[in-house]
Structure 1
Amino acid sequence: MLELLRSKITAITTSAKETDAKLQEICDLLKESVAHYDWVGFYFRNGTKEELKLGPYAGAPTDHTIIPFGKGICGQVAVSNKNFVVPDVQAQDNYIACSITVKSEIVVPLFVKGKNIGQIDIDSNTPDPFTEKDERFLEFVNEEVAKFIEA
């Protein structure tokens, strides 16, 4: 399933649309196409501040439009520069609950020219659904996104 989405992601990222339109289309595609992707969004560094700002997303609205570095899963990825897979959000001390239905989360940093400028964040209402295939696929998505963000 994820392999089939690669060509669709590339088609979106190489289109002539504006950056936010491309990001929104990616979020919509992933949420609609992958059963355990219940909320898909991008967070980006908020200028020079040590915080993340919510960008395009697909799923239920969230109050978490600004996340300080180090806070929650997203904030930790902003500092660690590493993927973070959370099989059970209830087991995480430093977790920011977006919805009581969320059971697991995956966050993959987005690098442009070697610098962490943001991340893709996916919440799932399914316990422990994320595999290494999800990680590799989301790394691919971010590599494709980086190509048009740095252009």
Structure 2
Amino acid sequence: MNLEELNPQIETVIINSQLDLDSKLYAICELLEKHVNHYDWVGFYFKNGNKEELKLGPYVGEPTDHTIIPFGKGICGQVAVSNENFVVPDVSAQDNYIACSITVKAEIVVPIFVNGENIGQIDIDSKTPDPFTKADERFLEFICEKVSGLL
């Protein structure tokens, strides 16, 4: 299934009035992990109140100890500071990478903005080396834009 084919399913989750915010985010994670072969861990991190750190939200994949990530630390922490997408084709080549699992080979993180402020991000880990394309970035930007409308 190509990524754009998932857009209507993402829209359906977003507008589902039967689900609360966390349930919608979890459903998005499940949808991505199930339908995109190279998405092995899918989760959301959000700014933790007024603290300079991210707090783990809904996710699908192996459990992680990284429930709190300081700004600037790891790929997610760097995106919290840079406000830009970060695509990592090979996590072993990154000095500031926080290893979640030895099986993770690549990562992509895309920020979520509300009123111009970076309030969170979607984080995808892959066991496949260098799997992410511009299509992944555009797709995840679409999701982040839809999620920002919920916040």
Contact 1:108/1:139 (8 A) holds in 2: yes
2:82 and 2:140 map into 1 onto residues whose CA distance is 17
1:125 and 1:132 map into 2 onto residues whose CA distance is 18
* 1:143 alignment counterpart: 145
1:129 and 1:103 map into 2 onto residues whose CA distance is 9
1:35 and 1:128 map into 2 onto residues whose CA distance is 13
Mapped pair 1:43 → 2:55 = no
Mapped pair 1:4 → 2:5 = yes
Contact 1:9/1:141 (8 A) holds in 2: yes
* 2:71 alignment counterpart: 69
Q: Give the secondary structure class of the aligned counterpart of 2:149.
A: helix
Which letter maps to 2:136?
Answer: D
* 1:78 alignment counterpart: 80
Which letter maps to 1:86?
Answer: V
* Identity across the alignment (%): 71
Could you list the per-position Cα deviations for residues 48-102 of structure 1 after superposition, in whole angstroms to 9, with x for gaps in the alignment? 0000000000000000000000000000000000000000000000000000000
What TM-score do you get using the length of structure 2 for normalisation? 0.98
Q: Give the secondary structure class of the aligned counterpart of 1:126.
A: coil
Contact 1:108/1:120 (8 A) holds in 2: yes
Gaps of at least 5 residues in structure 2 are none
Computed over aligned residues only, the root mean square deviation of the Cα atoms, in angstroms, reads 0.4
Alpha-carbon distance, 1:148 to partner: 1.3
Displaced runs of 4 or more, over 2 A: none
Map 1:58-137; keep pairs closer than 5 Å: 58-137=60-139
Contact 1:14/1:148 (8 A) holds in 2: no
2:150 and 2:14 map into 1 onto residues whose CA distance is 7
Gaps of at least 5 residues in structure 1 are none
2:122 and 2:4 map into 1 onto residues whose CA distance is 18
Which letter maps to 1:3?
Answer: E
1:127 and 1:40 map into 2 onto residues whose CA distance is 16
Q: Give the secondary structure class of the aligned counterpart of 2:150.
A: helix
Alpha-carbon distance, 1:23 to partner: 0.2
What TM-score do you get using the length of structure 1 for normalisation? 0.98
